[in-house]
Each structure stands twice: as C-alpha cells, then as structure tokens.
Amino acid sequence: MDLISQVKMADVMMKFLRGDMTRITPYPFTAGKPSFLPDGDPRLPRSTPEREGIPSGYLREFFRAADDSSSLPLLHSAAVLCHGKLVACVSRAPYTAALPHMTFSFSKTVVAMAVGLAAEEGLLSVTDKVVSFFPEKQPPLFRSPRMAALEVRHLLTMTSAANFNEAGSEMERDWVRAFFFSDCSSMPGEHFHYNSMNSYLLAAIVCRVTGKSLTEYLTPRLFDPLGIPPVYWETCPMGVEKGGWGLYLRVTDMAKLGELCLRGGVWEGKQILPRSWVEQMHTFSVETGRRGMELYGYQQWSFPAPRSYQFNGVFGQYAVVLPEYDMVIATTGGDSALFYNRVLRAIDRFFGSGAPARFAFWREQNPACGVSRLCRDPLPDNPAALRLLRDPWSDPEPVSPLRALRRLLPFGSAHPAPLPPLPDAALRFCAADLPGGSPASRIPAPESGEEEAPAAAAGQEPSPAAGAEKNGVEETLAVPENGGAPDGSGSVRDGVEASAPGAGRDFAGSGVPDGDGGQAPDAPPDEGKGEADGSGWYRVGKSFGTLLPLILAGLTNNFAPAVSRIRFRTEGRRFFVDLALGGEEAVTLPVGLNGEAARCTLTVNGEPYAAAVRGLFREDEDGRDVLLLDVFFLETPCVRRLKIIRTAPNALCIRFLEYPTVEDAAQMLLGLVSGPDSSAGVWDLFGQDILRQRLYSRMKQITLPKASALRQEG
C-alpha cells in the first residue's frame, strides 16, 4: 500500500473508530439488491443416492460431519451431484436452498469463465497488456514499467502484485483508475498474492471489450443455457460488477457451474465453455502456500483429492469437483473459517483423498449396505434411509400408533394444533407491571381457525394430508413446486413459522407454503416496517448497536443507524420485537419460539433482506429474564444476535453479537488494512503497540456494542 493509500486508509480507520459509518466511504450507499423470490426447482435431472452408488446413510453421515453444530448452523445448504444427477439437496433450519445466497469469492471463477468466453470470441487474449484496455485511466506523468508489463494472465493467476486491494475499494470511487495509479509491488508473475481487485479488473475488461455489463454478457452464454434464474451481482460505484465478490446464486446453481467444468464445458450436449479454457482454469502452476488449497489456476483453487479442484468463497461458499467419483458437492454456509473449513475437510474425508479408508470403515459398520465401490455400484432404493436424508441433522423418532393413525385420517391437517401459550418471561418483557393472575392466563385463546400451526421444527416431519403419503424414492425424484426446496420434500423445509397478520409476512410473493400447508399471502410493499409510535417503548442509550451485522454492512456499504428504541408486544399467542433505527421508522421482527424461526423480509435503508427470527427465553445466574434473539439473514452467512437482559422492571441491558463473530470481522478488516506486508501499513501511522491496544479496545466497543435501555412513560 503506497503512502497516499495509507493516508486515505488512516482516514477511513479514524471514521470507523469514531463510529461515523455513514461517511466511511467516499460514495453513498445505493440500494440495488432485489427481493428474491424463492425458487425450489433445481432444473437438474434427479436420482437417488443408491441408484448412483452412494448409500444414503453414508451421505447422511457426511452431512453430519460437515456441520455438527447444535445452535447456529455452519452449513446452510448443500447440493450433491453424482453422474450428472442431483442426488441430495439439504438445508439446515431456518435456511433454504430455494433462495440465492452470497457466494463471495466463488464468483471469481465465474469471472474466469467470462474471460474464457470473450477470448473464444476473439475479444481478448491472456497475453494482452492490461493497460491497453484503459489508456484513459493511466497516470498522466509517471507510468510504472511494472504496471506496463501486467498481462491478463497475471490477473487470472493472482500474480499481478497490484498494490490496490480490497481495502482500497473502500476509499475510491473509480476502482480502475485507482488500480493503475497504485502500481505493483514487484514484477508481475513472480509471486502469488490473493487480491480480489484482480478479479474486479478482469470483470471491467470483459465489460470494456463486450460493451455490456458482465451479467448481460453471461446471461445468454452461461446462465440461461444452465437453467440458472436471473442473477444479481453487486456493482462498484462506477456500475461495473465487483467481479471478485457480490454474486448471489442458489446452491444448486453453484453445483451446475461445477458440473459444467467436470464435463469439460459441455452442458446437455452443447459446448458452453471452450474445453481448452476449462482445462487451463484448473491447470495449477502457482503455489499459494495455503493448506488444503496449495495451488492456483485461473481463478480456481486446487483440492487435496486426486485431479480435483474447487470454487472457493469465504465462510463456506464452495463447489468441489471430484472427477474420481464423478461428483460435484456445492455448499453455502456461515462458518468463521475464511477459506478452508470443516466442510472442505469432510468432503476430503468422505469423497476425496480419505474416501477409500472412510468408506471401508463405514462398510464394516454397515455390512448390509451391499456395495463395494463408492459411486460405481448401483444399489436398491432405500426409502427409509432417503427419508432420514431429508434432514440429516435430526435423529429419527419412533412413530407411535396414534401418530401413524393421525397421518392417515383426513382431518389430520385440517385442524392444526393451536400455538402454545407464550412463556411468562415474554409477558414480563411486554409490560412493566401486569396485575392479577398468571401472565399466561391473560393471553386469550385463539378463536377457531384464527391461529396457524407452526411449521415443523428442525428434525420433525410434518404430517401430510390424507392420500399424500409418498415413499422416500418418490419424494426424492419429484420436482418441487415453485418455492419448495429441492430436497425431495416438495416444500421449504426450514422449520419456520408463518408470520402473523400485521407483521413481517413470508417473503413477498414467494408462494412458500406457510405453517399449515396453505399459501402465505403476498406481503405489502412496506412489509416489515412501521412507525415508532404507540406505547411500551424502551429508549436505548447511545451505542454502536445496529440491526445489520458489521460484516454484512461492510460488504454492502449499508451502514444503518443504531437502534434507538425497542419494544416488545404480542398478538394472540405470537411475540414481536419492534426496533426503531435512528429516526421514527421501525422494523418489526416476528419472533419464532420453541426452537423455530419466524420468516420475514426486513428492509434497511431501502434494501430488502430475507430473514428468519428465533427467540429463546431463559434466566441468567442472577435470576433475571434473558431473551436471546437471533436474526438470520438467509441470503448471507450473517446472524445478528441480541442478548437482552431485563435488569429491572423498566430497564434492559442489550448486547449486540454477530456470527461469524466480531473477532472474525476484525480479522478480515485488519487483514485488508495491513495489506500483503503485515510489518508495514496503516498501523505504522498510529504509532506504537500501546496505541494499537487502545485502538483495539475502541474497536471492541464498535464491534461488540452494549447498550442500556429505559422504558418510556406514557
């Protein structure tokens, strides 16, 4: 990072440490992300694991090894293709494979595909000088010989040695100009240095030579032929797709891109990508020095298994191509590990370099499986094992005779059970003093047909209507209706509760089944928002606590005002939390209880976010009521947790936590600030270690905010 960039970075850091988030970048936030409609049709041929030579029990064990967390899911969704067919697609509650998900650096490989298509059309060559595409962006006086030597292939292999990095994008409006003005730290081609701005410049080059946006260029050439629904790709302040990040895809679409590479660029008999380009993408010649991903090709990483490779995005956005087993495994997630995590280790153990030993051990434990060669010897269908695979993380429960009878009776789904009474703690949060009787007794029972039954919690199988019974094979091969998750169930199996009238409803116009099997109504345009009027509000003291997690806000530049007021209320047997963000506008959170999450769409600064909210009441060691409120941003790896402690009848203490954790957010931020040379950079502008410690203490106040709140009178 050059001196000018360091000074600019110091200014950004000072704004951050002052909490001046809305002016942290030289360009304002502009809402652009659409409200995604869930689409559960994978547009892929389907099969069962057994028919493709994989025991369902072995696959279930793999999913459980990839994520054994009992609280916050680390793996959100996963899709497994074998022999070109979708054999499994699962999601952990409250996530769904029907929604697009942030892919982070996974998108870099998609940029490489665009470069290959442009090269095939004769629009560019990998040996072209990068400066030739943007002569008007060059410095007017001094022009670096190192920058003049930079070629397209150096951008593809992360060997550009460019000084302008991700941190620089927070300080500049014109990223292309800033790239050329910042020079290179060494001659291109000498060293590997991972830098997302290489991918951004590749995207800008494709836009320049094609005269189209990257999305416009790729849609008829790549996305449409693969049956990928219209995609959203975030853009820079100048309107160019970010390239190295910002692409949203469903997990099944991520798997398709891996399958395209596995087939040498061929899809349904048609050559989509040039075969020679696909081979160049995973011809690994650059050493990275990173465990589990030691080599780098054209925007693509190696993988420990023989001949395998991976698309890799931080926090668990992967597509691993495994030619030895003719497989592709794609995942989305929220793991705090930045690049190589337990999901990739599980893939390597079950289907990579450790697969022979692992499968041999599994066969010893399951001698009746009847298969000796994984992914090669077909097996008879196993409906019981397939049903367990629908939710690999739930433990099977014995079905009582009464429950089995209820499944067969026609009134089994016509009269759903009413919601249970709210816990006493919920009532104590809603009012400082409720005279007379037990709190639960003052909640009126719902009238007949008024309340909806919650959707099945994670690990519970909803009772189907009479005549709707299918065996596991039929469920797996069925094409789900629009909005259903492609996991064979025909519905979004994310364990969420339908939202109450007047609050955040299901995703607008999604057609996602609600809790009783009907269709949730379309949400109004301002769904999830309201005015901060009425009674029962607590005024929150000054803090840096916001609704959006820091990682999400930093990635999208959407820094919302801090929470200024909070209110708790009930409607029937449903519980809600209202948050006022700075001014008078409020966001309503419908809270799912009993281990479930309530689905809604939250709008922050005009940008919609598909979310699910889950609440847990408990007591701390001092006997005080505590509400743990988890807000899952379903299209991202991020979760905002509010730990709300009722310190007195009219007083609260609120802690703002986030996952991936604030330590991970700080690690990412400081890593970007420090640049490739950790011994120099912006910290040197702040002085010695003692000052660094003070700054870190201040950073903790911002990334781990805590606030007190007092109930307003009247």
Alpha helical stretches, state H, 502-556: 550-556
Of the ranges 137-141, 197-201, 292-296, 493-497, which one carries the lowest mean pLDDT score?
Answer: 493-497
Mean pLDDT to the nearest integer, 515-543: 57
Long-range contacts of 3-11, Cβ-Cβ distance < 8 Å, separation of 24 or more = 5/163, 5/164, 5/168, 5/171, 5/182, 6/681, 6/682, 6/684, 6/685, 7/685, 8/168, 8/171, 8/172, 9/167, 9/168, 9/171, 9/673, 9/681, 9/682, 10/682, 10/685, 10/686, 11/171
Phi then psi dihedrals of residue 406, to 5 deg: -65, -30
Tell me: pLDDT of 206 over 50: yes
Round the average pLDDT of the chain to a whole number and report it.
82
Tell me: pLDDT of 500 over 50: no
Mean pLDDT to the nearest integer, 20-38: 80
| pLDDT of the residue at 267 | 98
DSSP-assigned beta bridge partners for residue 266:
271
Pairing of strands 639-648, 651-659: antiparallel
Confidence category of residue 6, pLDDT binned at 50, 70, 90: low
Half-sphere exposure of 564 (CA within 13 A, CB side): 11
Nearest to 581 by CA among 553, 615, 617, 551: 553
Confidence category of residue 641, pLDDT binned at 50, 70, 90: very high
DSSP-assigned beta bridge partners for residue 628:
616, 643
Collapsed DSSP state (helix, strand, coil) of residue 619: strand
| pLDDT of the residue at 444 | 39
Of the ranges 40-54, 249-263, 512-526, 551-565, which one carries the lowest mean pLDDT score?
Answer: 512-526
Instruction: Determine contact, residues 196/166, Cβ cutoff 8 Å.
Output: yes
Domains and CATH numbers, the chain: 50-97+353-392 (no CATH), 99-341 (3.40.710.10), 424-443+450-457+495-668+702-711 (2.40.128.20)
Instruction: Determine contact, residues 553/604, Cβ cutoff 8 Å.
Output: no
| pLDDT of the residue at 4 | 60
Nearest to 465 by CA among 521, 395, 415: 415
Instruction: Determine contact, residues 511/554, Cβ cutoff 8 Å.
Output: no
Tell me: pLDDT of 71 over 60: yes
Q: What are the tens digits of pLDDT across the range 242-286?
A: 999 999 999 999 999 999 999 999 999 999 999 999 999 999 999
| pLDDT of the residue at 451 | 37
Tell me: pLDDT of 505 over 60: no
| pLDDT of the residue at 292 | 86
Nearest to 70 by CA among 581, 616, 454: 616
Confidence category of residue 394, pLDDT binned at 50, 70, 90: confident
Mean pLDDT to the nearest integer, 13-36: 74
DSSP-assigned beta bridge partners for residue 639:
632, 659
Per-residue buried b or exposed e for 580-606, using 16+ beta carbons within 10 Å of the residue's own CB: bbeeeebbbbbbbbeebbbbbbbbbbe
Question: In percent, how much of the chain has pLDDT > 70?
Answer: 73
Instruction: Classify 265 in phi/psi space as left (phi over 0), alpha (psi -120 to 50) or beta.
Output: left
Q: What is the end-to-end Cα distance of the chain in Å, rounded?
A: 55
| pLDDT of the residue at 330 | 98
Instruction: Determine contact, residues 638/621, Cβ cutoff 8 Å.
Output: no
Tokens of 269: 């008999």
Alpha helical stretches, state H, 129-212: 145-148, 152-156, 166-169, 175-181, 196-210
| pLDDT of the residue at 511 | 33
Confidence category of residue 16, pLDDT binned at 50, 70, 90: low
For tokens 């905010």, the residue is 705
Name the CA radius of gyration of the chain, rounded. 26
Question: In percent, how much of the chain has pLDDT > 90?
Answer: 61
Of the ranges 161-165, 359-363, 436-440, 624-628, which one carries the lowest mean pLDDT score?
Answer: 436-440
Tokens of 662: 């604030």
588 vs 458: which has the higher pLDDT: 588
| pLDDT of the residue at 56 | 96
| pLDDT of the residue at 449 | 36
490 vs 570: which has the higher pLDDT: 570
Tokens of 305: 């298994």
Instruction: Determine contact, residues 272/266, Cβ cutoff 8 Å.
Output: yes
Q: What are the tens digits of pLDDT across the range 655-685?
A: 999 999 867 655 655 554 454 444 444 444 4
Tokens of 449: 């047909």
Burial class (CB in 10 A: 0-12, 13-18, 19+), 429: buried
Instruction: Determine contact, residues 613/630, Cβ cutoff 8 Å.
Output: yes
Rounded to the nearest 10 degrees, the angle between the axes of helix 342-351 and helix 355-365 is: 70
Mean pLDDT to the nearest integer, 413-428: 79
Sheet holding 529-531, edge to edge: 496-497, 597-604, 607-619, 625-633, 639-648, 651-659, 706-711, 537-540, 563-571, 574-581, 585-591, 529-531
Tell me: pLDDT of 526 over 70: no
Of the ranges 101-105, 398-402, 492-496, which one carries the lowest mean pLDDT score?
Answer: 492-496
The whole-model pTM stands at 0.85
Nearest to 575 by CA among 714, 382, 403, 440: 440
For tokens 């059970």, the residue is 417
